Structure 1
């Protein structure tokens, strides 16, 4: 009789797990994020309740930071909510354009926008996942120029950018980072 109950519980658990995945609204190739309070952490959802992201061995910033594949639940950590990014058909900077005192700075900003627009490409879900897997194991993390958001956005759009860093540093500083 115990075997019968175990089979029913297992079948119920499997059905509940499938329903939970459907309720999440996650699709292979989605760029997902979780708000950690001081920052947002980003990843590529690769299916089967797994993500690929830049993270330490035990958490977002622990030792040995690398691009890793992890269970979605580990990505969430103690958080109970997450978001899925939506991307426009063409590259649009997520920040408001600022007026610069120097017309040279305006020209450089315009050129950077034109360059990014030419590089912007929305990859299919399969291509996005393939790009994420292509960098698995990479250990080139840099908070300002190659963080989890840079990685995830690049997988989807071919542009390595972090809206958080741009907002934190402002237009002029991020422009200098891009040019260096």
Structure 2
């Protein structure tokens, strides 16, 4: 992945943003003014979530954010943002066929693809390791009360 760490003011609308998580990379489209459109999926909680527009801080969830270069993008800038906004509220997340990376590549390239899914399918052992890392992270978040979608009373 060719990424470049940047400050919020440096992000251009339509930029493909990525943030490392436990065992995977989360993807979003920068919409401008500190806002990101992304398929929330399971990025913050144990329940699926729709395509949403959130703040950059909510998208990052305490992790660093970088720009993923898309040299073959067919849709640039506000055109990519407009494509992303057409899917706001869509709630058909599927880890293997319609995840946050599929969403971003569709916005920019016109074709839904996921390098992460493709890599896991090519290397099943790596896929098992990735799933185990995600499970450990989810179990840890349950133990601390974060990431479950539940709040303490």
What's the TM-score, normalizing by structure 1? 0.60
Secondary structure class of the residue paired with 1:167 = helix
User: Quick check: which has more Rg, 1 or 2?
Assistant: 1
Change (3 A) 1:142 1:61: farther
Q: Is the aligned partner of 1:69 residue 2:53? A: yes
* Bigger relative contact order, structure 1 or 2 (CA pairs below 8 A, ≥6 apart): 2
Pairs aligned (count)? 117
User: Which residue in the other structure is 1:147 paired with?
Assistant: 99
Secondary structure class of the residue paired with 1:33 = strand
CA offsets 1:100-137 (integer angstroms, 9 cap, x no match):
xxxxxxxxxxxxxxxxxxxxx51121110000000000
Change (3 A) 1:149 1:33: same
Work out the CA distance in 1 between the residues paired with 2:43 and 2:114: 20
Contact 2:39 2:99 in 1 (8 A): yes
Work out the CA distance in 2 between the residues paired with 1:61 and 1:158: 28
Change (3 A) 1:165 1:61: farther
Contact 1:151 1:160 in 2 (8 A): yes
Contact 2:16 2:70 in 1 (8 A): no
Gaps of 5+ in 2: 1-6, 124-153
User: Which residue in the other structure is 1:33 paired with?
Assistant: 18
What's the TM-score, normalizing by structure 2? 0.70
RMSD of equivalent CA atoms: 1.9
